[in-house]
């Protein structure tokens, strides 16, 4: 595999564990507020933009630091788009590391395969909007999102859902609809960082504040939701 980004030491993306984090290139969504545009954009010829890291470089680092590291976080872009994801994860598992996968949930068949083979220990799935509004992030198959949500909710694997919250993107009632999708699973409402976005227009869009997001959670009576 080729990776677009690499954090050698990460204490944030897998709470409770010392991890390394890799970012895959390319995504099948076009969220206008995406804060990793360099990892999302990919040419039609599979061209990678910016600095890249090979699978061998990542595995060598993990081998060298496995006495210090607990886990690897695989983020993106969208990791499940890559056919060589599972073979790579098998090599990571052979080092005795836990694996957290960040995904947009668009490929439930891949997600199910990884879970069944026990190649992931934790999954963080982005919930972008209510299902009927997924066209706003450039994805026209919301039934696949629903399938991934159901898969995670009925699996025994640790998981969470998370939603980035720029103002103007959501309408009244959207948070309630998303809460119904999430059910009793952990759900994190995340503030939006407008510093660098896929659509430059979102560089000037503000975020819901942590207080506003906490108020939304309280108004819906959610016990499984929190703010990041």
- Residues 43-60 have pLDDT tens digits of 434 455 567 899 999 999
pLDDT at 138: 95
pLDDT at 118: 98
| Average pLDDT value for residue range 134-143 | 97
User: What tens digit of pLDDT does each residue of 14-43 get?
Assistant: 999 999 999 998 899 999 999 888 777 654
Superfamily of domain 2-227: Aldolase class I (3.20.20.70)
Euclidean distance between CA atoms 193 and 209, whole angstroms: 11
| Average pLDDT value for residue range 94-106 | 98
Which token pair is 224?
């499984």
Tell me phi and psi for residue 66, to 5 degrees: -65, -20
| Average pLDDT value for residue range 143-160 | 97
pLDDT at 108: 98
Q: CB–CB of 77/31 below 8 Å?
A: no
β-bridge mates for residue 164, sequence order = 190
Euclidean distance between CA atoms 152 and 159, whole angstroms: 7
Confidence of residue 189 (pLDDT cuts 50, 70, 90): very high
Mean pLDDT is lowest, of 19-28, 39-48, 97-106, 108-117, for 39-48
The continuous run of DSSP H or E covering 52 comes out as: none
- What share of the chain in percent tops pLDDT 90? 85
Peptide bond into 22 cis (omega under 30): no
| Domain regions of the chain by residue span | 2-227
Euclidean distance between CA atoms 174 and 212, whole angstroms: 15
pLDDT at 44: 37
Confidence of residue 87 (pLDDT cuts 50, 70, 90): very high
């Amino acid at each position: 595999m080729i990776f677009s980004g690499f954090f050698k030491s990460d204490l944030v993306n897998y709470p409770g564990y010392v991890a390394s984090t890799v970012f895959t290139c390319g995504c099948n969504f076009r969220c206008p507020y995406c804060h990793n545009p360099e990892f999302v954009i990919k040419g039609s010829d599979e061209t990678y933009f910016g600095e890249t890291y090979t699978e061998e470089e990542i595995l060598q680092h993990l081998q060298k630091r496995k006495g210090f590291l607990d886990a690897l976080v695989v983020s993106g872009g969208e990791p499940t788009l890559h056919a060589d994801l599972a073979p790579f994860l098998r090599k990571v598992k052979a080092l005795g590391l836990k694996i957290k996968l960040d995904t947009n949930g668009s490929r439930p068949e891949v997600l199910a395969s990884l879970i069944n083979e026990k190649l992931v220990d934790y999954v963080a799935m982005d919930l972008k909007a209510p299902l009927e509004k997924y066209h706003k992030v450039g994805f026209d198959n919301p039934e696949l999102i629903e399938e991934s949500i159901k898969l995670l909710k009925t699996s025994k694997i640790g998981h969470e859902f998370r939603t980035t919250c720029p103002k103007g993107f959501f309408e009244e009632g959207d948070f309630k609809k998303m809460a119904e999708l999430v059910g009793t699973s952990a759900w994190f409402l995340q503030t939006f960082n407008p510093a660098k976005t896929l659509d430059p227009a979102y560089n000037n869009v503000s975020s819901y504040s942590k207080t506003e997001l906490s108020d939304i959670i309280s108004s819906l009576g959610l016990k499984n939701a929190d703010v990041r």
